[in-house]
A and B are shown apart, each in its own frame.
Chain A
Amino acid sequence: MVAEKRFPNQGEKPVIVVDRLTAGYGENIILEDVQLEVYPGEILVIVGGSGCGKSTLMKQMIGLNLPFSGKVLVNGINVHTEDETERGKLRREIGVAFQAGALFGSMTLGENVALPLQEYTNLPEDEINRIVRMKLGMVNLAGYENYLPDELSGGMQKRAGLARAMALDPMVLFFDEPSAGLDPVTAVELDILIKSINAGMEITMVVITHELQSIFNIAHRVIMLDKEARGVIAAGDPRYLKEQAQDPRVHNFFNRLPARLKERNF
């Protein structure tokens, strides 16, 4: 482990606790004994090469897949709880912005964002519409409520997905590869949006990405996973990791050096 710099609210009661989590698919163990805390208000970025278990870890944290052993607590609630009331509470605390937006193609943007509000609150229609307009405004999509998702560009779909994820003002927002497939300018715009929402609403954010630029832009703290180690091999401020990391895997990742390239000595 590399020594780390301070990040927001370190030492406060963590929002997410991943406790000795072992998970995988079928017989395959991908993560073993992972221990992780996410503190309120921070942007935690999970990085690592392909197949290192980033997505597996996120799916565990949002309760989509069952772990082999260990547990994940979000705001003190086990994400794999069977209790209906607890689960309802949990669903309101978590928002997920999926890689391609995962908007429902048969609904307009407005209907997509309104869906969680209709399900989890008892607000009347016009109040919901007003909140939907506000949320779309937050992601710079004001006026697009009657558009269908496939009439929009990839970047807009992602932003709309973010608006839907934020519909209930969750405590934690998860992002799966927010800048994947976006042009550099749009990607930076999305980074700025993520940062401003984090700063304004103090939402805790867990972001999966391997875009270095984006990592340096948004991360308060980075954890790096590794395929062979089946867990976290480094954690800390990304700039610090880039300069100071001793572990070659970490150093190579943050300095864009493929491991093999160095051995060959051109």
Chain B
Amino acid sequence: MEKLTIEGLTAVAEDTESIPEFAIGLEGVKGKPIRLSISGRIELDNLLSFRSELENFFERMVPASITLDLAGLEYVDSAGALALIDFKSEAKELEIPFNFENASKKIKGVMSLIDPEALTLASRRPEERPPGFFILVGETARLLWKDFYNLQSFLGDLLYALAYCLRHPHTLRWGDILLYMTRSGVEALPILSMMSLGTGAVIAFMSALQLKQLGAIEYVAPLVAIAVVKELGPLLTAILVSGRSGSAFAAEIGTMKVKEEVDALSTMGFEPVRFLSVPKVLASIIVLPLLTLYSMFFCIAGGFLVGVYLLDLTAFSYIDQTMKNVTLFDLVASLIKSVVFAVVVAGVGCQRGFEVRGGAEAVGTMTTSAVVTSLFIIVMIDGAFAIVLHYIR
């Protein structure tokens, strides 16, 4: 009996009692007709050793003809049958007469299922090769342009749908708007307050370390206030909402797309953009400025706690300095900015949802893309705002 040394990869293969065994008996001499009798079991687990046993058989023995006696073969699975058929094909190629003998009904049955042509048939599509450098650059540029174009055309659709809904307010789905306001607004409050409080405190603390050396510790309050009201409040909020809600919008619409629910809406006469995107975008437009104010408040509160308890500033002077340095202009500009961010976050989320084609993987890709794209656009818009506001004043 052939002793096998297959190193088990899995729990099953490690189980020694389950490793099947086979034996090959040989009658005949080199160059003459040869009779091989195979007994035992040939299956996935001992396929390799069976193959190696028969390797170079034709070069070694140079048989005039081969008879394969399968009388002793207890069991052969389809992989084992494949090995037998391969052996036969090899003989056929070398034009050596070959025949099976005593194959049981079951073994014949398994072999009959294997189509030798299927094994040699060329693949209908060759494996994809990685494209060359120039193709890659060109393809990327094309995709970027296509993406830009799609975003613009979706923005057009969205603005049109928004305008339509504002002209015909009864077509608005107020229930949905309230639902999304709760989801991306109310439910975001705990995490937003944590984030803002922490950010405010860290800014105050880190800036204090530097300002102390210049003896300008009282400037901590204006620094926190200006940074938060002009930049951090809107930015922090938009990033958070993009991560929480923009991605959720993309995943929701994407899954609806996969399940043909979007097509169902279209056939029922609903405009998918108006039906699905408008409530989300409107809810975000309402909620994001409020969240921004909330975030600003908690950032300043964080700075206040650090200023009063760690830096020995008085509560009065901290509040006083904050009030003196925050202008209404800055606050309003920031709130307008946050409205724009709301459109970007919700719009890109919805657009990416509508872009989903195929299945589960596409939903994942587009959800990621929704967050990445909206963050990118937010940063660009934030820069634009900074420049424009600088010249307006």
Contact = CB atoms under 8 A, between A and B. Distances in A.
Interface of A: 84-85, 88-89, 92, 105-106, 117, 119-124, 127, 130-131, 133-138, 142-147, 149-150, 166, 168-169, 196-197, 199-202
B109 A201 contact: yes
A120 B48 contact: no
Interface stretch (B9-17, B247-255, B320-328): B9-17
B6 interface: yes
Contact of A134 (B7, B114, B361): B114
A33 B115 CA distance: 44
Contact of B7 (A106, A117, A122, A169): A122
Nearest to A136: B118
Contacts of B117: 137, 142
A85 to B, nearest CB: 5
Given A105-B358, A106-B361, A150-B358, A143 B123 contact: yes
A84 B15 CA distance: 12
Contacts of B118: 133-134, 136-138, 142-143
A204 to B, nearest CB: 14
Interface string B7-37: 1111111010010000000000000000000
A132 to B, nearest CB: 10
Contacts of B8: 122
Nearest to B361: A106
7 A-B pairs with the lowest CB-CB distances in the bound complex, closest first: A137-B118, A142-B118, A105-B359, A200-B109, A169-B77, A143-B124, A200-B113
Contacts of B11: 84-85, 88
A85 B11 CA distance: 6
Given A105-B358, A169-B79, A201-B109, A88 B12 contact: yes
B216 interface: no
Contact of B121 (A84, A92, A124, A142): A142
A147 B125 contact: yes
Contact of B113 (A122, A131, A196): A196
B43 A169 contact: yes
A202 B285 CA distance: 64
Interface string B113-143: 1110111011111111000000000000000
B79 A131 contact: yes
Contacts of A134: 78-79, 82, 114, 118-119
A197 B79 contact: no
Given A122-B6, A143-B121, A169-B77, A127 B109 contact: no
A122 B9 contact: yes
B106 to A, nearest CB: 6
A92 B360 CA distance: 27
B231 interface: no
Contacts of B79: 131, 134, 169
Contacts of B109: 199-202
A133 B47 CA distance: 16
Contacts of A200: 109-110, 112-113
A85 B124 contact: no
A88 to B, nearest CB: 4
B45 interface: yes
B78 A146 contact: no
Contacts of B7: 122
Contacts of A150: 358-359
Nearest to B48: A123
B267 to A, nearest CB: 19
21 contacts: A89-B15, A105-B359, A105-B361, A122-B6, A123-B44, A130-B119, A134-B82, A137-B115, A137-B121, A142-B117, A142-B118, A142-B119, A142-B121, A143-B124, A146-B125, A146-B126, A149-B359, A197-B113, A200-B110, A201-B110, A202-B106
Contacts of B43: 169
B78 A89 contact: no
Interface string B269-291: 00000000000000000000000
A135 B78 CA distance: 9
Contacts of A106: 360-361
A146 B44 contact: no
A106 to B, nearest CB: 4
Nearest to B43: A169
B150 to A, nearest CB: 21
A169 B114 CA distance: 13
B124 A137 contact: no
User: Max chain B CB contacts within 10 Å: which of A119, A135, A196, A200?
Assistant: A200
Contacts of B122: 143
B46 to A, nearest CB: 10
B82 A121 contact: no
A106 B10 CA distance: 25
User: Max chain A CB contacts within 10 Å: which of B110, B118, B362?
Assistant: B118
Nearest to A135: B78
B82 A119 contact: no
A131 B51 CA distance: 13
User: Max chain A CB contacts within 10 Å: which of B10, B47, B110, B122?
Assistant: B10
Given A89-B18, A127-B51, A146-B124, 13 more contacts: A89-B12, A106-B360, A106-B361, A120-B44, A122-B8, A123-B44, A130-B82, A138-B78, A142-B115, A143-B124, A146-B126, A147-B125, A168-B44
A130 B122 CA distance: 13
A231 to B, nearest CB: 33
